[in-house]
């Protein structure tokens, strides 16, 4: 048998590619990452931030599986904030602003330390097939590389076109050339390609901003990090500025809409509805007189600021005019104009749940090429595609995460079963089982699986099993002893004097009870690490809900075949978004199962429809 030099080739050094290559190498496959430029491995193409609602969950899960995004985010984080802090733990989203240079350096360092992994600079121009199977890649210099599997993660580069007003230039992102030959090869292979677009705001010179006139947002005092291996931020923590658009800004934008690449009809691709450009916001939310903008420094030693909230494809003179109409930005200097980018993507419905193209066995796809947007979504797919490519070549069974197991499972299932009509991003509302898929318990859900697959390092293994032991000890302590209301009153908690004896777990589930109260009742519990006690308190709070959610999920599954009357008046169902109402009216699904597969349908909306059907019976 001919010996191939590599088991797996990963094309692309973005967020999907970095995670795919690392995962493949960890899984034991001889892996090479081929990318156009070594210095852009790990580059953040758009916003200098990792995590957020739904996205933060993905990063914690990637970390729990032994991935690198969480570690790089922790090493480069300059403003950690837990979003939705006042809401329940299930929907809290860890986020950090990152120092761009530190993030890229961390990714390059982590890849450099990984055994089994080499990095090669080159442009992949061809896919080599034999008998319909992928056998390697051809580079633009004419050389060839052979491997048992290939993971394609070319992001926004396939036939990338940058738009600034009516100015068009070819590019994978600003400063990088596009990938046209490979895009043509994919066309020749008859892959189902579509066009999507995304945009980025102008970058501003920090020293030209009047920071003194702005409100500032400080980092959290007790930051939640991404990696289970990290203890505390390593970079200095800083604040970002907050400002707002105003009537004048909106006037300038409205008066120049025809000059925007998107509104001027220069772009055919569909953009991300959830990351709208400032033109979109002014048009779609015409009743709003102002939109918030976060002024995020791109690094500790950088003079560049990323104004989060004003991405645009307007021409440069209009960008300057509207930026300077904003408080604090009157003298702002634009260092790089905002732009929109259009690129090819592959319909992910063609992929298997392993992220492989069954028509071209051995070819796996991950990241923006599958119609998603966002670093975290890309990295999550990269992790799974890299693992599966390696396991395929090494003759092991595939790894697929279910919707009840991980947000990663939700993401991939959504992509391959429903496809995309616009760039897909993760939200907590996409997960049916979000009360159990929390950012805090990603390690408990996934690290044992990663351990079985042999893809986590020894230090993570040891830490994880120590934590599990402590959690088990805590659970025993919280369930064996029982306390009367009078015992409990000693701690200062007032509950019903019903004479009922309660376990520590039951006491912790009361709304105003914290670990400090239970510490007083069970001294051995007080001796457990903070992290473990906090985790057990979350478990206690959610226990009843998680059990109920499981019952609801089982019931919903039974209701899949329920007939929806053709005449159902969706307009009368309160709580449905206008967008879903429109889709339901148009599609008129015949069963609840069919309604569930409509793009954008949420578990909550399905429950509303179910209630309505029952009500009409």
Q: By the criterion CB under 6 A, which residues form the site for ligand FAD?
A: 11-17, 34-36, 40, 45-46, 123-124, 153-157, 172-173, 179, 182, 198-200, 275, 311, 341, 367-368, 373-375, 378
How would DSSP label each residue in 12-40?
Answer: --SHHHHHHHHHHHHTT--EEEEES-GGG
Pairing label, strands 240-244, 292-297: antiparallel
Angle at 552 between CA 550 and CA 553, to 5 degrees: 65
- Does residue 104 have a known ligand-binding role? no
245: left (phi over 0), alpha (psi -120 to 50) or beta: beta
- Does residue 194 have a known ligand-binding role? no
To ligand FAD, the closest distance from the beta carbon of 433 in angstroms equals 24
To ligand FAD, the closest distance from the beta carbon of 16 in angstroms equals 3
Strand partners, 77: 98
- Does residue 361 have a known ligand-binding role? no
In Å, the largest CA–CA distance within the chain is 82
- Does residue 13 have a known ligand-binding role? yes
- Does residue 137 have a known ligand-binding role? no
Residue 348 or residue 504: which is nearer to ligand FAD going by CB?
Answer: 348
Q: How many CB atoms are located within 10 Å of the residue 185 CB?
A: 17
- Does residue 346 have a known ligand-binding role? no
Residue 343 or residue 542: which is nearer to ligand FAD going by CB?
Answer: 343
- Does residue 263 have a known ligand-binding role? no
Encoded tokens for 263: 């509104």
Asked whether the beta carbons of 228 and 463 are under 8 A apart, the reply is yes
* Separation between Cα atoms, residue 532 and residue 521, nearest integer Å: 17
Residue 114 or residue 153: which is nearer to ligand FAD going by CB?
Answer: 153
To ligand FAD, the closest distance from the beta carbon of 34 in angstroms equals 5
- Does residue 304 have a known ligand-binding role? no
- Does residue 278 have a known ligand-binding role? yes
Name the nearest CA neighbour of 6 among 33, 26, 42, 27: 33
470: left (phi over 0), alpha (psi -120 to 50) or beta: alpha
To ligand FAD, the closest distance from the beta carbon of 128 in angstroms equals 14
- Does residue 282 have a known ligand-binding role? yes
Spatial CB neighbours of 419, under 8 Å, sequence gap ≥ 6: 347, 348, 349, 371, 599
To ligand FAD, the closest distance from the beta carbon of 153 in angstroms equals 5
To ligand FAD, the closest distance from the beta carbon of 252 in angstroms equals 22
To ligand FAD, the closest distance from the beta carbon of 121 in angstroms equals 9
Residue 182 or residue 416: which is nearer to ligand FAD going by CB?
Answer: 182
Residue 120 or residue 546: which is nearer to ligand FAD going by CB?
Answer: 120
Residue 82 or residue 151: which is nearer to ligand FAD going by CB?
Answer: 151
- Does residue 318 have a known ligand-binding role? no
To ligand FAD, the closest distance from the beta carbon of 351 in angstroms equals 14
* Separation between Cα atoms, residue 562 and residue 549, nearest integer Å: 20
Spatial CB neighbours of 554, under 8 Å, sequence gap ≥ 6: none
Spatial CB neighbours of 547, under 8 Å, sequence gap ≥ 6: none
* Separation between Cα atoms, residue 100 and residue 73, nearest integer Å: 10
Name the nearest CA neighbour of 93 among 64, 130, 50: 50
- Does residue 274 have a known ligand-binding role? yes
Residue 14 or residue 89: which is nearer to ligand FAD going by CB?
Answer: 14
To ligand FAD, the closest distance from the beta carbon of 588 in angstroms equals 33
* Separation between Cα atoms, residue 234 and residue 399, nearest integer Å: 34
- Does residue 593 have a known ligand-binding role? no
To ligand FAD, the closest distance from the beta carbon of 159 in angstroms equals 10
Spatial CB neighbours of 314, under 8 Å, sequence gap ≥ 6: 164, 165, 253, 256, 259, 260, 261, 279, 322, 338
Strand partners, 50: 96
Residue 46 or residue 420: which is nearer to ligand FAD going by CB?
Answer: 46
- Does residue 569 have a known ligand-binding role? no
Residue 158 or residue 282: which is nearer to ligand FAD going by CB?
Answer: 158
To ligand FAD, the closest distance from the beta carbon of 438 in angstroms equals 22
* Separation between Cα atoms, residue 336 and residue 318, nearest integer Å: 14
Spatial CB neighbours of 130, under 8 Å, sequence gap ≥ 6: none
- Does residue 12 have a known ligand-binding role? yes
Residue 375 or residue 433: which is nearer to ligand FAD going by CB?
Answer: 375
Residue 154 or residue 319: which is nearer to ligand FAD going by CB?
Answer: 154
* Separation between Cα atoms, residue 597 and residue 447, nearest integer Å: 30
To ligand FAD, the closest distance from the beta carbon of 366 in angstroms equals 7
Angle at 80 between CA 333 and CA 278, to 5 degrees: 40
Residue 200 or residue 243: which is nearer to ligand FAD going by CB?
Answer: 200
Q: How many CB atoms are located within 10 Å of the residue 565 CB?
A: 12
* Separation between Cα atoms, residue 362 and residue 356, nearest integer Å: 7
Residue ranges for the binding site for FAD? 12-17, 124, 179, 368
Known binding site for NAD(+): residues?
271-285
Binding-site members are 12-17, 124, 179, 271-285, 368
């Amino acid at each position: 048998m001919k010996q191939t030099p590599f088991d797996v080739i990963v094309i692309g050094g973005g967020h999907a590619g970095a995670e795919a290559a690392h995962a493949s190498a960890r899984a034991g496959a001889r892996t090479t990452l081929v990318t156009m430029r070594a210095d852009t491995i790990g580059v953040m193409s758009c916003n200098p931030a990792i995590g957020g609602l739904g996205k933060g969950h993905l990063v914690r899960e990637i970390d729990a599986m032994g991935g690198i995004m969480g570690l790089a985010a922790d090493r480069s984080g300059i403003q950690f904030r837990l979003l939705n802090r006042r809401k329940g733990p299930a929907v809290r989203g860890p986020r950090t602003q990152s120092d761009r240079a530190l993030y890229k350096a961390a990714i390059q360092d982590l890849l450099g330390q990984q055994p089994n992994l080499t990095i090669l600079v080159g442009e992949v121009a061809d896919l080599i097939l034999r008998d319909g199977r992928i056998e390697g890649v051809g580079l633009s210099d004419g050389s060839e590389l052979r491997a048992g599997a290939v993971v394609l993660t070319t992001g926004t580069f396939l036939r990338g076109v940058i738009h600034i007003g009516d100015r068009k230039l070819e590019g994978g992102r600003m400063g990088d050339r596009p990938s046209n030959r490979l895009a043509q090869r994919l066309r020749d292979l008859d892959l189902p390609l579509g066009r999507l677009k995304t945009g980025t705001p102008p970058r501003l010179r920090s020293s030209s901003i009047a920071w003194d006139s702005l409100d500032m947002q400080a980092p959290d005092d007790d930051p939640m990090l991404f990696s289970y291996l990290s203890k505390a931020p390593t970079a200095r923590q800083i604040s970002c500025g907050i400002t707002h658009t105003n009537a004048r800004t909106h006037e300038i934008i409205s008066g120049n809409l025809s000059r925007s690449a998107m509104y001027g009809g220069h772009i055919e691709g569909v953009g991300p509805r959830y990351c709208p450009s400032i033109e979109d916001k002014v048009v779609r939310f015409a009743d709003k007189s102002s939109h918030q903008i976060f002024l995020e420094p791109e690094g500790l030693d950088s003079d560049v600021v990323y104004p989060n909230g004003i991405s645009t494809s307007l021409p440069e003179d209009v960008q300057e005019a509207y930026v300077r109409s904003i408080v604090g930005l009157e003298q702002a200097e634009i260092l790089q104009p905002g732009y929109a980018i259009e690129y090819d993507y592959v319909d992910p419905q063609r992929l298997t749940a392993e992220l492989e193209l069954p028509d071209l066995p051995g070819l796996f796809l991950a990241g923006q090429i599958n119609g998603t947007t966002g670093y975290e979504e890309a990295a999550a797919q990269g992790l799974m595609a890299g693992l599966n490519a390696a396991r395929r070549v090494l003759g092991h069974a595939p790894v697929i995460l279910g919707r009840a197991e991980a947000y990663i499972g939700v993401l991939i299932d959504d992509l391959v079963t429903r496809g995309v009509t616009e760039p897909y991003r993760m939200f907590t509302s996409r997960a049916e089982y979000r009360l159990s898929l929390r950012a805090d318990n990603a390690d408990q859900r996934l690290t044992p699986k990663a351990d079985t697959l042999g893809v986590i390092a020894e230090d993570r293994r040891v830490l994880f099993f120590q934590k599990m032991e402590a959690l088990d000890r805590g659970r025993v302590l919280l369930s064996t002893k029982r306390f009367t209301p009078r015992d409990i009153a000693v701690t200062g908690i007032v509950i019903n004097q019903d004479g009922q004896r309660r376990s520590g777990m039951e006491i912790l589930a009361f709304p105003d009870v914290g670990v400090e109260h239970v510490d007083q009742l069970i001294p051995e519990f007080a001796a457990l690490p903070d992290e473990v006690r906090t985790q057990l308190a979350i478990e206690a709070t959610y226990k009843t809900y998680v059990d109920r959610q499981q019952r609801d999920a089982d019931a919903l599954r039974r209701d899949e075949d329920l007939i929806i009357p053709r005449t159902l008046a969706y307009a009368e169902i309160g709580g449905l978004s206008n967008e879903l109402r429109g889709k339901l009216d148009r599609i008129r699904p015949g069963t609840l199962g069919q309604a569930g597969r409509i793009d954008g349908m949420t578990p909550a909306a399905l429950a509303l429809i179910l209630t309505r059907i029952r009500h009409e019976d």
